[in-house]
Amino acid sequence: MFIQNLLQFVVDVMKVPSILVGLVALFGLIAQKKPFPDVVKGTVKTILGFLVLAGGASVLVSSLTPLGDIFKHAFNVQGIIPNNEAMVSIALAKYGAPTTLIMAFGMVANIIVARFTRLKYIYLSGHVTFYMACMVAIILSVAGFTGVQMIYTGSLALGIMMALFPALAQPHMRKIIGNDQVALAHTGTIGYILSGWIGSLVGKGSKSTEEMNMPKNLSFLRDSTISISLTMMIIYLILSISAGQQYVESHFSQGQNYLVYSFVQAITFAAGVFIILQGVRLILAEIVPAFTGFSEKLVPNARPALDCPIVFPYAPNAVLVGFISSFVGGLVGLFFLGQLKWVLILPGVVPHFFCGATAGVFGNATGGKRGAILGAFAHGILITFLPVALLPVLGALGLTNTMFSDTDFGVAGIILGNMARFMDKGTITAIITGIFALLVIYNFATGSKNKAAAEESEG
């Protein structure tokens, strides 16, 4: 009972990104034998940065959430709205215990994978790790896994994914950030890679979203906060007018005039983005030097993998372009689902913002404005169709109104779910163990080869 309570406490701590990254900074600074004042300052500023980022995200979500309901009412559409938080809150009632254990041991597995393979990434987005652990727990439980076998198989699968997804995104991250010091830890990786790839195909000669050529009287639009405010104002006003004054004022604005409410919500959205950008800058200034000490002790040459807003300051205009393009992709996907008479996946404004914005930054890095627009549009299509394919896998839950939203849930869930459908438990455990073993063997084989080549060149 004590061990179970202790594990639950550890998971509760690790689910909070600010505390998780603060602990990494603390251990890293101690490992570097920094003076006590520097340890305190670095730890507190790292936690503060994440709290600023989380505060900005809360402000942003508070302005985005009504937009989804207003959209549904304005166009009278019904269907599933993908939302990770809603999905997890429903599933935890039944799968809380295995989710907790898989996350706790999955983070240990991530460090082991990073230590003994070439995937040198430590996944520090605790909340999305928890969501992924929940999905793994659901699939393995439905497949009949129990006890130690379930925790071992689920934790190792999660640990491999936590190291693999940042590694897949890293070539694009180098282009975005300009160095190899920070990686991406978010559950939309497959969509971001797709956006970056499309950008490389279509973006030849296309200028960056950050190089806007504006007439003098429109030069104020170069300020991303202003351009985001004005764009969201247009979107909010169109949807609010389409939904009608009575609906907006009775459900959301609490009697405030619906046009005034729309104006304030648009500016609130821009305020959320502004706060996020400040938080990211604060985190990057502290976590990279502190993480050096942590990685030297546990995983030499490892990189910290952080949440998706970490890329927003590098292309603020691409953030807005990506959000709008992804949302349009969601609408186009919704239209095709309707034509095919499949289940309707409504565009969730929150996932289309956070994931679509990140896809826009990735597309811009490889293909400028065209890459940002078309890459994020393709991302929007992808996160509309993937939940349809994931529905049969998670059908045992009996969920009818929500689903995981991000691409990595779709891809990992479909692969693991189909393994659970067509293979027995022993085979699944053996395959996941085998993947880890192959990664370790490849690391040692290439390490020995590189060492021999270095010795030969010296000789």
Amino acid occupying residue 43: T
Q: What is the CA radius of gyration of the chain?
A: 23
Q: What would the mean pLDDT of 7-25 be, rounded to a whole number?
A: 80
Give residue 448's pLDDT band: very low, low, confident or very high (50, 70, 90): low
Residues 133, 102: contact at Cβ < 8 Å? yes
| Position 75 pLDDT exceeds 90 | no
Higher local confidence (pLDDT), 449 or 123: 123
Q: Give the H/E segment covering residue 77.
A: none
pLDDT computed for residue 223 by the predictor: 75
Q: How far apart are CA 343 and CA 385, in angstroms?
A: 10
Domain extents for the chain?
2-420
Mean pLDDT of the residues in the chain: 88
* Length, in residues, of the chain: 459
Q: Which of 321, 309, 354, 326 is nearest to 208 (CA)?
A: 321
Q: Which of 108, 144, 165, 49 is nearest to 421 (CA)?
A: 144
Give residue 384's pLDDT band: very low, low, confident or very high (50, 70, 90): very high
User: Residues 173-188: pLDDT tens digits?
Assistant: 999 999 998 999 999 9
Give residue 18's pLDDT band: very low, low, confident or very high (50, 70, 90): confident
User: Residues 298-337: pLDDT tens digits?
Assistant: 888 889 999 999 999 999 999 999 999 999 999 999 999 9
Give residue 459's pLDDT band: very low, low, confident or very high (50, 70, 90): low
- Return the half-sphere exposure (C-beta side, CA atoms, 13 A cut-off) of residue 429: 14
pLDDT computed for residue 455 by the predictor: 56
pLDDT computed for residue 410 by the predictor: 92
Report the Cα 192 to chain-centroid distance in Å.
Answer: 10
User: Residues 235-258: pLDDT tens digits?
Assistant: 999 999 999 999 999 999 888 999
Q: What would the mean pLDDT of 152-164 be, rounded to a whole number?
A: 96
Q: Give the H/E segment covering residue 217.
A: none
| Position 400 pLDDT exceeds 60 | no
Q: Is 259 exposed, middle or buried (0-12, 13-18, 19+ CB in 10 A)?
A: middle
Q: Secondary structure of 348-402 in the HEC alphabet?
A: CHHHHHHHHHHHHHHHHHHHHHHHHHHHHHHHHHHHHHHHHHHCCCCHHHCCCCC
Give residue 379's pLDDT band: very low, low, confident or very high (50, 70, 90): very high
| Position 15 pLDDT exceeds 70 | yes
Report the Cα 59 to chain-centroid distance in Å.
Answer: 18
| Position 12 pLDDT exceeds 60 | yes
The percentage of the chain sitting over the pLDDT mark of 70, rounded to a whole number, equals: 93
Q: What would the mean pLDDT of 291-304 be, rounded to a whole number?
A: 82
